[in-house]
Amino acid sequence: MQGEAPNIGYIDRDRHPMDIGRIVQDVGYAPRFAPRAAYADFLDWLKRTPDFRSN
């Protein structure tokens, strides 16, 4: 709505990486890929799926 104050804060510094420790402990989750391999796979997928990021 026009005139409302934003409810999302912006911090211009790096945030800490997320911790998956709780989901590992609670349900036994184990990621299939290490973070770097997962990121590389995601970038490859983005290249192969140009319609994902449409204007």
Please tell me the pTM assigned to this model. 0.48
* Nearest residue to 42 via CA among 53, 29, 26, 30: 53
Tens place of pLDDT per residue across the chain (55 aa): 678 887 877 777 776 677 889 999 999 999 988 989 999 999 999 999 988 876 5
